[in-house]
Amino acid sequence: MAETSKAPVEAFRVAFSTDMLADPDYSADCWQDALFRAGINCSLNMLPPPDYRANMSVHGYDGFGLLSGQTSSAVFGGERSETDPGAFTFSFSHGPALGVRHLGRESVVEGGAAVLLSLDSESIIDLRAQGMGGLSVLCLPNDLVEPALSRSTFTLNRAIAGNAPPFDLLRRYVRVLAARGDVGAVAHQAIAVRHIHDFVALTLGAGGDDRDERVARSAAPVRLAILKADIAANLTRPNLGAPWLARRHGITPRHVHRLFEREGRSLSLHIAEHRLLEAYRRLADTQGNGGTIVSIALHVGFNDLSYFNRRFQRRFGARPGDIRAIFGTSRARG
């Protein structure tokens, strides 16, 4: 599959909200700017209803763009010139079902599902949300998607079930990227682009040696990134471990352990490290909202206070009380 050849863009993350606009008529211009910032060189005429609302974050990478948040119903009309290659989007629903009318076809996108849409001169996208619908929009350059479509039976504006492999991993990985507060270091940006391109190709039906190469390159790292994000979101669960993660992700506990061992660190050490970091963050809370040392230890999953104190001191070279005193003193002086 041909990779995108557009000029490199500087990765970024910005927020967009219609609540920030004094004049709602500016919403179309703001969306146009958001898409351009996301690396999509495609003009849009947006026809929002008078009460249109959206709260979105926009991540731009050198190879794809990602918009994620909430939007109400709207109609998008595409325009492009002879020199504009256009773009495609995977639109993922994260809440109530979204209705989509596109290319003469209507689809209902249930929560967790997605559709592939085309942004070009012939396209009108009629998006119907129930209130403020949660969604992520993965914006992809034409020269990445179109060659794959020409070799597959994949249909535009056909709902893709959220549990259909390899789309399930693409969907989960998009959520991981959307939840990040920034786009990360340059090396991490390049890795994210490679993984997204690989899983888009796999979702669109890459086969043979191309499929094998993409699976070998991206399947394990993407699944590991998804597992790490799930761990970070569930540090307070007392049963956080391989069996619980395996059930949630449809793999075996041994597979979970192997994914972490590839990085040279065990699952238990990874969980303990992030629980300790969260405990440190709460102890250093200069607003005094972290809680007592006992409540913090219990909250991050340590049921034995003595064990927590030993692990904490071994990791940070100071006792939990020392950290609380240091930042408490700073707060008193400030």
3-state secondary structure string, the chain? CCCCCCCCCCCEEEEEEHHHCCCHHHHHHHHHHHHHHCCCCCEEEEECCCCCCEEEEEEEECCEEEEEEEECCEEEEEECCCCCCCEEEEEEECCCCEEEEECCEEEEECCCCEEEEEECCCCEEEEECCCCEEEEEEEEEHHHHHHHHHCCCCCCCCCECCCCCCHHHHHHHHHHHHHCCCCCCHHHHHHHHHHHHHHHHHHCCCCHHHHHHHHHHHHHHHHHHHHHHHHHHCCCCCCCCHHHHHHHHCCCHHHHHHHHHCCCCCHHHHHHHHHHHHHHHHHCCCCCCCCCHHHHHHHCCCCCHHHHHHHHHHHHCCCHHHHHHHHHHHHHHC
Average pLDDT of the segment spanning 132-147:
86
Assign 30 a pLDDT band (cuts: 50, 70, 90).
confident
Average pLDDT of the segment spanning 208-232:
95
Asked if pLDDT for residue 5 goes beyond 50, the answer is no
Q: pLDDT averaged over the chain?
A: 83
pTM of the model: 0.85
**pLDDT of amino acid 2:** 42
**pLDDT of amino acid 196:** 95
Q: Domain spans of the chain?
A: 12-233, 236-334
Domains 12-233 and 236-334 are alike in CATH topology? no
Average pLDDT of the segment spanning 97-104:
87
Range among 4-18, 54-68, 152-166, 212-226 rated most confident:
212-226
Average pLDDT of the segment spanning 97-111:
89
Give me the phi and psi of 61, to 5 degrees please: -120, 165
Assign 114 a pLDDT band (cuts: 50, 70, 90).
very high
Range among 119-123, 179-183, 266-270 rated most confident:
266-270
CATH homologous superfamily, domain 236-334? Homeodomain-like (1.10.10.60)
**pLDDT of amino acid 333:** 37
Task: Choose the weakest-confidence range: 44-53, 134-143, 157-166.
Answer: 44-53
The rounded distance, in Å, linking the Cα atoms of 156 and 203 is 13
CATH code given to domain 12-233: 2.60.120.10
Query: For 277-332, what is each residue's pLDDT tens digit?
Result: 999 999 998 776 678 999 999 999 998 999 999 999 999 999 999 998 988 744 43
Query: For 31-51, what is each residue's pLDDT tens digit?
Result: 667 666 665 555 555 666 677
